[in-house]
Amino acid sequence: MNPTIIERKERWARKMAGREKPTARGHDRLPPGQHLAKGFPVLDLGVLPEIAPADWRLEIRGLVENPVTLSWDEFHALPQFEDTSDFHCVTTWSVYDLRWSGVSFFTLADLVRPKPEATHLFFRSADDYTTNVPLAAALDDDALIATRLNDGPIPREHGGPTRAIIPKLYAWKSAKWITGIEFLGSDRRGFWELRGYSKTADPWTEDRFG
Ligand SMILES: Nc1nc2c(c(=O)[nH]1)N[C@H]1C(S)=C(S)[C@@H](COP(=O)(O)O)O[C@H]1N2
Ligand SMILES: [Mo]
């Protein structure tokens, strides 16, 4: 693990132990070109999958030592993690202070054990949406596979029962209704990346296209 990821994992471990102070969010909290949205807008391809817990599966495979297909109960038996973060859509709206809970990517990585050559994650969703992220972006103290938003299950239109949350990247990287995560040894463009959006998607440098 590189030193940055070790530092983030330490911060995450302190959050898991209830010892980390909430992330300090300063006056420069809104990335350039963004405005605060009213409420929490919904943005997707217009397909609204319905997934019953009994049918729910999360398949994690690719460049890992221990590929798994988790059931709803198995997923909930993993250590649960909660964190509050901001959400930035590339179409310029942002939402502050969404409290997500679920399973951290650090926990999932400990379970599947990525091979050293794994560099990227590729997400698949029940609406046939896909997206890719650098593995290092998911291994952060605010990134998780979430099943809860604030005090309830994630509403279906926001990706419930389960979505990825990677707050430091533009929100198209946070796949709703996820069904699979593949560990890759090189980059592969997903739905929006094939249509001109950035593979890395950093809101702070307005890394929207590429
Ligand atoms: N499965 C899936 N995930 C998706 C999308 C989608 O169309 N399908 N849209 C992305 C985009 S562009 C954004 S901005 C966010 C919006 O999440 P929200 O609808 O909860 O606000 O979801 C992302 N995740
Ligand atoms: Mo978006």
pLDDT tens-place string over residues 78-136: 999 999 999 999 999 999 999 999 999 999 999 999 999 999 999 999 999 999 999 99
Q: How far is the CA of 175 from the centre of ligand 1 (A)?
A: 6
- Ligand 1, atom 20: closest residue by C-alpha: 158
Half-sphere exposure (Cβ direction) of 17: Cα atoms closer than 13 Å: 8
> Beta partners for 71?
57
Ligand 2 ion: Cβ-proximal residues, 5 Å cutoff: 43, 89-90, 171-172
Which CATH number among 3.40.718.10, 3.40.50.300, 3.90.420.10, 3.40.309.10 corresponds to the domain 3-15+57-205? Answer: 3.90.420.10
Q: Where are the domains of the chain?
A: 3-15+57-205
pLDDT of residue 60: 98
**Closest CA to ligand 1's atom 23:** 172
- pLDDT the model gives residue 69: 98
> Which is higher by pLDDT, 82 or 1?
82
pTM of the model: 0.97
pLDDT tens-digit series, residues 138-147? 999 999 999 9
Give the 3-state secondary structure of residue 60. Answer: strand
Q: Where are the alpha helices (DSSP H) in the chain?
A: 3-16, 72-77, 105-112, 135-138
Rounded Cα gap, residues 82 and 204, in angstroms: 24
Token pair of 138, please?
A: 């998911």
Q: Which two tokens stand for residue 20?
A: 């980390």
Give 118 Cα–ligand 1 centroid separation in angstroms.
25
Q: Is residue 133 within 6 Å of ligand 1 at its C-beta?
A: no
pLDDT at 82 (0 to 100): 97
Please indicate whether residue 53 or residue 7 has the higher confidence score (pLDDT): 7
48 lines ligand 1 (CB under 6 A): no
Cβ-contact 91, 34 below 8 angstroms: no
Place of tokens 């400990």: 110
In this structure, how many other beta carbons lie within 10 angstroms of the beta carbon of residue 150?
12
Greater confidence (67 vs 1) lies with 67
Residue nearest to atom 6 of ligand 1 (CA): 44
Residue 134 CA to residue 107 CA, distance in Å, equals 17
Q: 175-188: per-residue pLDDT in tens? A: 999 999 999 999 99
Residue of 53 and 119 predicted with greater confidence: 119
Q: What is the DSSP letter of 108?
A: H
